Amino acid sequence: MSALTSLTLGAGPVVRRPSLLKAEARRFRSRRLIRNLLLLGVIGYAVTVVVMFTQYEKPSAEGLREARQRVDQMVAEQAQYHAECVKTTPPDGMTIDDYCGPVPTASDFGDLSNFLPRQAFGLERGFGDFAQVFGIGFAALAFLIGATWIGAEWSSKNLASWLTWEPRRIRVMTAKLTVLTVLVAVMAALVQLVWWGTGYLLASTRGVTDVPVDFWGEQWAMQGRLVAFAVLAALGGFALANLTHNTGAAFGIAFLYFAGVETAVRLLNPEWQRWLLTDNSIGFINPKGWTVVWLDPGAFMGIESRVFLSHWGSFGTLAIVTGVVLLAGIGLVARRDLS
Amino acid sequence: MGAIEIVDAHKTYRRRRGGPNKAVNGLDLVVDDGGVHGFLGPNGSGKTTTIRMLLGLVRPDSGTLQVLGQPVPHALPSLVPDIGALVETPIFFPNFSGRTNLRILGDVAGISSSRQEECLEVVGLRERADERFKAYSLGMKQRLGIAAALLKSPRLLILDEPSNGLDPAGIREVRELIRALGADGRTTVFLSSHLLAEVQQVCDHVSILARGRCVASGRVADVLATGASGDVVVSLDPTDAERGLEVLQDNGFQVAVHPDGIHARDVGDPARVTRALADSGIYLRGLTPVIADLESVFLELTADDAADVTAGDAA
């Protein structure tokens, strides 16, 4: 401390606008764990894409023509069967439409790539599936990031130190949540954007780009929901780690819930499945929502019950669960003595 | 306006086992503006709880606390730019470098990077500022904590055991820094320490805490005076030493041989000693009052609580 005399002891070191958000953003991008996790994610993504490029092959014009012929042939066969079916009398209590189903079309047979001699990447079949794989994978990563984001502060007792710089506890927690939400949303959107570009490139060079008219609207909506899902996962990780003051405990609770509670509910009280996080996650992400089906216990031969989980309903359940845990943790931070 | 004013503060921690713990029990404390104010007390006497209450980390059960003339914790948001604090162990993000840690705090308070570099320079960490905090020695961590406390150029600097882990040269430098800050006419340094010699060397004022309340407070010299014994050491020409001892005994003084002459106990007015010797034709070379050091006063005031205090100084 030889430079004592050089220290400006007087007032005046504050020359910039104080910004908790900027401080939190700096911390976010300086965190080694986040960098390493993202690097691993990027490597995993790159490897998957390389494997996809080697596994798929662009069909020849001849192959496409043959595939279309096969589809047309199958549609014709099924149409004939359907035509014969509608001439019969349906069993009691059933309508002819229930009995024979709708008139078959080409879309009932899935992507054209299914009928090609060597596998081609079909946008219609593959794009949404892989968007979900990458989106859910990133959501798992986001849970980890959210849990360690606040867990690291509790384990290093840094939160008390922060409060000697900004004593408004709610404001401190809000800044942390804002930075986490925004950056996770940006990264999740980037994942979907990159997959959109990669998927289209893959389909153009190693597959077919034929899609139904309303295909992209449905896909983009699903990609948007995957971004929101990643944010919910990050906030869920944050909420659990903040409530328990421990990252490991957050993982433990999550594991116990998914491995224990959900299994127990499915076995013992299946009608409660509609409230489970897994089912609501599927209901939120899946383009068509999700129908929970269970057999009524005790009924002879089992009678199926069904509950449809819509996008908004599922989102509401996920958001309420996350919000309650989050608010409980923040409430405790606001009231408790900190050491 | 005092830098710190605490009136009848109470804080009890509820524990799952062992019943409630009264950490602060009717504490009254006034720290005037400017200078260095020592805050002494045995372990568990409530020093750190008091500091945490002042910083809004712990809520008092009752009582009023004011910092720089404003009530806390209510006014803390507006006061924080004027308060620098190092509470117990310096806490930073272990995997970030010293520089990144200061950058983050700089962002929170809007402090320029040049000021951050200046503070790193002051505590001698600039060369190693890019190393991870967790790789720092205890002394380096303490230096970074001091750098962080100085970032805002605070009007009130609260330091809790700032010499912890520092080598002797570092301790001396920290004390110089504290003295310089206390003398700058702007900063009040509130120094919590268990090193009595440190407080005696560095502080203008001192408050002594025991069992959650203040048992003595004032200028260091005045607090020391409360422990003055009334003893004196009488220096005589060696040829007069034996006779001087007899004269003082004959005049009713309790005396003993001392390396510097004669130790006379509880003499009341020292002029009585001078007169008794002069009447017998013995003239003094010197008469030195025996003044208690802070350690003695502290141990006397804190009595039962003092057992676990390290009453020494490595420096």
Residue A126 in any domain: the answer is yes
Question: Which residues in B lie closer than 8 A to residue A168 (C-beta atoms)?
Answer: 77
Residue A8 inside a domain? The answer is no
Considering the segment(s) B232-289 as one domain, its CATH architecture is: 2-Layer Sandwich (3.30)
Residue at A244 is within a domain: yes
Average pLDDT over every residue of A188-200: 95
Q: Which residues contact A173 (CB under 8 A, 6 or more apart)?
A: A242, A330, A333, A334
pLDDT at B313: 35
pLDDT of residue A159: 87
Per DSSP, the three-state class of B87 is coil
Whole domain around residue A78: which residue ranges?
60-119
Check residue A298 and give its pLDDT: 63
Nearest CA in chain B to A18: B110
Q: Which residues of chain A have a CB within 8 Å of the CB of B104?
A: 23, 26-27, 30
SS3 A214: coil
- Residue with the larger pLDDT of the pair A208 and B293: A208
ipTM of the complex in this document = 0.76
C-beta atoms of B174 and A6 within 8 A: no
Asked whether the predicted pLDDT for residue B298 surpasses 80, the reply is: no
- Per-residue pLDDT, averaged over B214-225, amounts to 84
Q: Report the Cα–Cα distance between both ends of chain B, in Å, rounded.
A: 35
Which residue numbers of A have CB closer than 8 Å to B's CBs? 1-4, 6-20, 22-23, 26-27, 30-33, 152, 156-158, 160-168, 337-339
Confidence category of residue A297, pLDDT binned at 50, 70, 90: low
Check residue B74 and give its pLDDT: 93
Q: A308, A273 in Cβ contact below 8 A?
A: no
Q: Are residues A158 and A105 in the same domain?
A: no
CA-wise closest residue to B88 among B224, B223, B194: B194
Q: What percent of chain B has pLDDT above 90?
A: 39
- Cα(A206)–Cα(A196) distance, rounded to whole angstroms? 15
SS3 sequence, A233-283?
Answer: HHHHHHHHHHHHCCHHHHHHHHHHHHHHHHHHHHHHCHHHHHHCHHHHHHH
Tens of pLDDT, residues B113-130: 889 999 998 888 999 999
| pLDDT tier, B180 (very low <50, low <70, confident <90, very high otherwise) | confident
Per-residue confidence (pLDDT) for residue A319, from 0 to 100: 97
Confidence (pLDDT) at A7: 54
Using the predicted structure, report yes or no on whether residue A14 has a pLDDT greater than 60.
no
Phi, psi of B270 (to 5 degrees): -60, -20
pLDDT of amino acid A6: 47
Q: Is residue A281 part of a domain?
A: yes
* CB A206, CB A130: distance < 8 Å: no
Q: Mean pLDDT for chain A?
A: 88
B94, B118, B181 member nearest A156 (Cβ)? B94
Whether residue A188 is found in the same domain as residue A113 = no
Query: What pLDDT, on a 0 to 100 scale, did the predictor assign at position B311?
Result: 35
Enumerate residues 6+ apart whose C-beta is below 8 A from A11: B153, B186
A44: confidence class by pLDDT, cuts 50, 70, 90 = very high
Are A245 and A194 contained in the same domain?
Answer: yes
- Residue of A31, A152, A167 with shortest CB distance to B76: A167
Residue B61 has pLDDT above 90, yes or no: yes
Among A54-58, B264-268, B289-293, the minimum mean pLDDT is found in B289-293
Q: Do residues A225 and A321 share a domain? A: yes
A216 and A174 Cβ atoms separated by less than 8 Å: no
Same domain, A274 and A138: yes
Task: Please check whether residue A9 lies inside any domain of the structure.
Answer: no
Q: Which residues does chain A have within 8 Å of residue B95's beta carbon, measured at their own beta carbons?
A: 31-33
A154 and A71 co-located in one domain: no
Going by their DSSP bridges, the two strands B205-210 and B188-192 should be labelled as unpaired
- Structural contact between residues B36 and B179, judged by C-beta atoms closer than 8 angstroms: yes
Nearest CA in chain A to B54: A164
The stretch A44-68 carries a mean pLDDT of: 87
Closest CA to A234 of A163, A310, A330, A151: A151
What stretches of chain A adopt beta strand conformation (E)? 121-122, 207-208, 290-295, 304-309
Q: Label residue A306 exposed, middle or buried (CB < 10 Å: 0-12, 13-18, 19+).
A: exposed
Rounded alpha-carbon distances, angstroms, from residue A155 to A55, A339, B91, B122: 45, 12, 11, 30
Q: Are the Cβ atoms of B123 and A1 closer than 8 angstroms?
A: yes
Per-domain boundaries in chain B:
4-225, 232-289
Q: Mention the CATH class of domain B4-225.
A: alpha beta
Q: Which of A13, A158, A164 sits opposite B55 (nearest CB)?
A: A164
For residue A183, tell me if it sits in a domain. yes
Output the pLDDT for position B1: 67
Q: Compute the average pLDDT of residues B26-44.
A: 91
> Quick check: B153 and A32 CB within 8 A?
no
CA distance A303 to B305: 75
Cβ neighbours around B296 below 10 Å, total: 15
The residue of B78, B122, B127, B143 whose CB has the most chain A CBs within 10 angstroms, and thus the best one to mutate to test that interface, is B122
**What pLDDT is attached to residue A302?**
63
Q: Which of A119, A136, A168 is the last residue of a domain?
A: A119
**Looking at residue A15, what is its pLDDT?**
67
A166 contacts in chain B (CB < 8 Å): 77, 80, 108
- The residue from A119, A145, A169 where one domain ends is A119
**A325 inside domain:** yes
Alpha-carbon span B162 to B51, nearest angstrom: 14
Mean predicted lDDT score pLDDT of chain B: 86
Own/partner long-range contacts of A138-141 (Cβ < 8 Å, ≥24 apart): A138/A41, A138/A187, A138/A188, A138/A191, A138/A226, A138/A230, A139/A188, A139/A226, A139/A229, A139/A230, A139/A232, A139/A233, A140/A233, A141/A37, A141/A38, A141/A41
Mark yes or no for CB contact B57/A7 under 8 Å. no
Please check whether residues A44 and A165 belong to one and the same domain: yes
The confidence score (pLDDT) of residue A300 equals 61
> A82 with A203, same domain?
no
Residue B304: predicted pLDDT: 56
A171 with A277, same domain? yes
Question: Residue A94 — pLDDT band, cuts 50, 70, 90?
Answer: confident
**Which of residues 134 through 193 in chain B touch A, CB cutoff 8 A?**
143, 150-153, 170, 173-174, 176-177, 180-181, 184, 186-187
Contacts of B170 in chain A (CB under 8 A): 1
Examine the fold and report which residue of A119, A135, A157 is the final residue of a domain before the chain moves on. A119
Mean pLDDT of B103-118: 91
Look at residue B231 in the predicted model and tell me its pLDDT: 81
The residue-averaged pLDDT of A116-145 equals 89
What's the sign of the alpha-carbon dihedral A25, A30, A31, A33? positive
Together in a domain, A75 and A198: no
Residue A3: predicted pLDDT: 46
Are A339 and B57 in contact (CB < 8 Å)?
yes
The pLDDT of residue B216 is: 87
Contact assessment for residue B124 and residue A1, using Cβ atoms and an 8 Å cutoff = yes
Mean pLDDT of all residues in A231-240: 98
Q: CA B265, CA B256: separation in Å to the nearest integer?
A: 8
Interface touch A4/B59, C-beta < 8 Å: no
Question: pLDDT at position B10, please?
Answer: 96
Query: Which percentage of chain A shows pLDDT scores above 90?
Result: 57
Nearest CA in chain B to A149: B93
On the question of pLDDT at B3 being above 80, the answer is yes
Q: Is the pLDDT of residue B292 over 70?
A: no
pLDDT reported for residue A211: 82
Region of poorest pLDDT, from A16-25, B128-137, B162-171: B162-171
How many residues are there in chain B? 315
Q: What residues form DSSP beta bridges with B64?
A: B7
pLDDT at residue B55, as a whole number: 94
- Whether residue A55 is predicted with pLDDT greater than 70 in this model: the reply is yes
Question: Is there a domain that residue A250 lies in?
Answer: yes
Are A123 and A199 in contact by the 8 Å Cβ rule? The answer is yes
What is the C-alpha to C-alpha distance for residues B278 and B272, in angstroms, rounded to an integer? 10
Q: What is the share, in percent, of chain A residues with pLDDT greater than 70?
A: 93
Select from B59, B96, B121 the Cβ nearest to the Cβ of A337: B59
Taking the whole predicted model, whether its pTM rises above 0.90 is answered as no
* Structural domain count of chain A: 2
| Residue from the list A15, A20, A338 with its beta carbon closest to the beta carbon of B57 | A338
Q: What pLDDT score does B268 carry?
A: 78
Assign A12 a pLDDT band (cuts: 50, 70, 90).
low
The strands making up B83-86's β-sheet, listed across from edge to edge, are B83-86, B156-160, B188-192, B35-40, B205-210, B213-219
CA gap A30, A159 in Å, rounded: 17
Q: Running DSSP on this structure, what letter comes out for residue A14?
A: B
Record: contact B186-A160, CB cut-off 8 A: no
Q: What is the end-to-end Cα distance of chain A in Å, rounded? A: 29
Q: What mean pLDDT is predicted for residues A61-74?
A: 86
**List of chain A residues whose C-beta atoms are within 8 Å of the C-beta of residue B187:** 9
Rounded Cα–Cα distance for residues A87 and A267 (Å): 43
Q: Is the pLDDT of residue A5 over 80?
A: no
> In this structure, are residues B183 and B17 in contact, taking their beta carbons and an 8 Å threshold?
no
Instruction: Quote the CA–CA distance of B28 and B217 in Å, as a whole number.
Output: 10
Give residue B312's pLDDT.
36
**Beta carbons of B120 and B147 less than 8 angstroms apart:** yes
- Three-state DSSP class for residue B223: helix
Distance from CA of B261 to the nearest CA of A (A): 43
Both A267 and A325 in one domain: the answer is: yes
| Same topology between domain B4-225 and domain B232-289 | no
